[in-house]
Amino acid sequence: MTTPAPAPGTTAAPTTAHRARAIAVLVLFLASFMDLLDTTIVNVALPSIARDLDATPSQLEWIVSGYVLAFAVVLITTGRLGDLLGRKRVFLVGVAGFTVASAAAGLAPTAEVLVGARLVQGLFAATMVPQVLSIIQVLYAPKERAGVLGAYGAITGSAAVAGPLLGGILTTYDVLGLEWRSIFVINIPVGVLLMVLGSSAIPESRSDHAARLDLRGVLLSSLALFLVVFALIEGRPQGWPWWIWTMLAASVVLLGVFVLSQRVLERSGGDPLVPLQLFGDRGYSAGALTSFAFFGSIGAMFFGLILYLQIGLGFSPIRAALATLPFSIGAFLASGASVPLVTRLGKGLVFTGLAFFTVAVGWLGQSVAHHGDALQAKELIGPMFLGGVGLAFAAVPLLDVALATVPVRSAGAASGVLGTVQQVGAAVLLAVVGVVFFHTAEGVPSPQVYRDALLNALWVPGIALGMAALTSLLLPGVEAVRRHKDEAEAAELAEAEMTGVEVAGVEVAGVEAAGTPSTPV
C-alpha cells in the first residue's frame, strides 16, 4: 500500500492510553492484512471453486475483478465519509460489513451468490481501508510515524507472501472440511475480534473541513467502469452481441459526461471526486498512466498463470502457491532495499523495476513454451523472483515520484486518485486477460490448450508493462522528488506545532489523510 500525503485539518479524539493506542494500531494493521489477504488468497482457490460450484470462466473473472472493481469505485468517497462522519465509526462499519460478506462468500451455494458476496466484500473493504492511515496519523506525532509506517509496510508485504501460501494450504489440506470456503470463513473470527477491540481502543477523529461528497461523480464513474468491465467479461461467452458493444459505447459516453461534470464542479468552487487540475501536471499524468498499466499487470499475469498450473498441469493449490512464492519473496526483500534509493534514483528506480518486471514476464513465457507439459516449479523461480524485485523497485517509489510536482496541499487528493487508478487498472486488465485466455482455451481442455492460452494472455501484461516503462520516463526528476519530500516534511511539522493536540500523552498534529490503498508489494 502507498502512504498518503497528509494535509492539515483534523480534530482528534480525547486522550487514549499508550496501551490502548498499541491495541488500536494492531487492529488497524490486522484490518489491512485481512483486506490484502483477500486480494491474493482467492487466486489459488479458483480451480477448486470452479469444480465445486460449476463456475463459468466469466464467473471466475468476476470473483477476482468484482472485488477490485467495487473497491475502486467507492474508495475516494469512503475516505471522505470518514472525514465527515468519523473515521472510527466508518472503519467499524467497514469491518462489520466485510465480515458478514466473508461469511456469505464462505457459505455461497452457487457461483452467482459468491460473485455477489465478493462485490459486497470489495465495497466494505474500501470502507475500512482508507481510515487506517488517517487514524494512524491522528494517533502518532510526525516524529513517531516513521517506525509505525515502516511496520505497516512490513505487514502489507507479509500479506502478499502469506496470501497465496495460506490459500494453498487451506484449500489443499481441506481445513475443517471446508476446502476453498475456509479462505473466506477465516475472516469471521478475525473480523469479530477487530470490532470488539477497535470499538474500545480506537479514538474517534474527523476533519474540520472535509470535502463534500460528489454523489453525481460517484454514480457516473461507477456506472462507466461497471459497463466496460461487464462488457469485457461477458462479451466472449455471449458471442459479442450488439448490446455488448452498446455497453462499451455507453461507458465512453458516461466517462465523457463524468469528466465534464468534474470540470464544471471544479470551476464553480465545489469538491469534485477527481480534481482534473491535477492532470494538467505532466509528471502526475505520467504517474497515473504508469500506475494504471503497472498495477493492472500484476493480477492479469497471475490469473492466467494459476489457471494454467492447476487446470493445465494438474498442480495442487499448495504446489501452485509454492511455485509463485518466489515472486512475493523477491518483492518483500527488494522493498526494504528500495526505500533509501527513492530520493537517489527517483524515476530511474521506477523504470528499472518496470524493465525487470517486463523481462520477467518474457522469461516466464519462454519457460512455459520451452518446457511444455514437463514444466516444474523450479523453472519458475528465476522469472518469479525477478518479477517480484521489479514490482518492489517500481511500486515503492512510484507515489513519491508521481507527486513530486504536485503542491503539498493537494497531495492527499492526488494520492487518493492514484490509488483509485491502480484498482481500475487491475479490474480492466484482468478483464482483458480473461477475454484472451478463455478465447484461446475454448474447445477440448488439454495442457497444450491451456499453455497456448497462457502464452497468448501474457502479451497483455507484457505490453502494458512496456507502456508503463515508457510513460515512467515522463515522471518528475529526482531533484523534484527531494524538494517535494522536504516541503511535505516542513509543512507537516509546522502544522504539528500550530494545531497539536494531546493524544496518548503525546503532542500530535491534526492531519487529514486520504488513506489510499494500492496493490500490495
Q: Tell me the domain boundaries of the chain.
A: 6-214+271-513, 215-270
Question: Considering the chain, what percentage of its residues have pLDDT values greater than 70?
Answer: 86
In this predicted structure, the answer to whether residue 111 has a pLDDT above a threshold of 50 is: yes
Q: Which residue has the higher pLDDT, 507 or 166?
A: 166
State residue 122's pLDDT score.
92
| Per-residue pLDDT at 146 | 62
Beta strands at 511-513 and 506-508: parallel, antiparallel or unpaired: unpaired
C-alpha cell at 183: 479462505
**200: exposed, middle or buried (Cβ count in 10 Å: 0-12, 13-18, 19+):** exposed
- Could you give the CA distance from residue 416 to residue 196 in angstroms, rounded to a whole number? 29
Answer whether 285's CB lies under 8 Å from 262's CB.
no
What's the Cα-to-Cα distance from 130 to each of 30, 83, 261, 436, 471, rounded to whole Å? 14, 10, 25, 33, 27
Span of 153-167, 374-388, 404-418 with lowest mean pLDDT: 153-167
Least confident piece of the model among 10-14, 397-401, 438-442? 10-14
pLDDT for position 170: 84
Report, in angstroms and rounded to the nearest whole number, the Rg of the chain calculated over CA atoms: 22
Locate cell 531533484: which residue?
Answer: 479
| pLDDT tens digits, one per residue of 247-276 | 999 999 999 999 999 999 888 888 888 888
Tell me the CA distances in angstroms from 5 to 208, 367, 487, 511, one per residue in order: 17, 41, 11, 10
CB 356 within 8 A of CB 383: no
Tell which phi-psi region holds residue 133, choosing left (phi > 0), alpha (psi between -120 and 50) or beta. alpha
Q: Give the model confidence (pLDDT) of 444-487 as tens digits.
A: 677 888 899 999 999 999 999 999 999 999 998 888 777 877 77
Helix (H, G, I), strand (E, B) or coil at 2: coil
Average pLDDT over residues 221-231: 89
Looking at residue 491, its pLDDT comes to: 66
HEC per residue, 227-264: HHHHHHHHHHHHCCCHHHHHHHHHHHHHHHHHHHHHHH
**The predicted structure's pLDDT at residue 147:** 66
Mean pLDDT of 102-128: 94
Mean pLDDT over 483-494 rounds to 69
CATH number of 6-214+271-513: 1.20.1250.20
Which SS3 state, helix, strand or coil, does residue 109 take?
coil
Length of the chain: 521
Mean pLDDT of the 56-81 span? 87
Give me the DSSP letters along 46-97. HHHHHHHHT--HHHHHHHHHHHHHHHHHHHHHHHHHHHHH-HHHHHHHHHHH
- Tell me the average pLDDT across 179-196: 92
7: pLDDT confidence band, cut at 50, 70 and 90?
very low
> In whole numbers, what is the pLDDT of the chain averaged over residues?
83
CA count, 13 A, side-chain hemisphere, 79: 28
DSSP for residue 108: -
Rounded to an integer, the average pLDDT of 427-443 is: 87
Residue 68, pLDDT score: 87
Contact criterion met (CB below 8 Å) for 342 and 364: no
- What is the pLDDT averaged over residues 218-239? 88
More confident residue, 3 or 500: 500
What is the Cα 480 distance to its own chain's centre?
26
pLDDT tens digit sequence for 127-155:
998 888 888 878 877 666 666 766 776 67
Sequence-distant (≥ 6) Cβ neighbours of residue 463 within 8 angstroms: none
Residues with Cβ < 8 Å from 517, sequence gap 6 or more? 1, 2, 32, 35, 71, 75, 126, 129, 130, 419, 423
Output the 3-class SS for 295-332: HHHHHHHHHHHHHHHHHHCCCCHHHHHHHHHHHHHHHH
| Distance linking the first and last C-alpha atoms of the chain | 7
User: Beta strand pairing status for 501-503 and 506-508?
Assistant: antiparallel
What DSSP line would sit under 464-481, residue for residue?
HHHHHHHHHTTSPPHHHH
Q: Is the pLDDT of residue 388 over 50?
A: yes
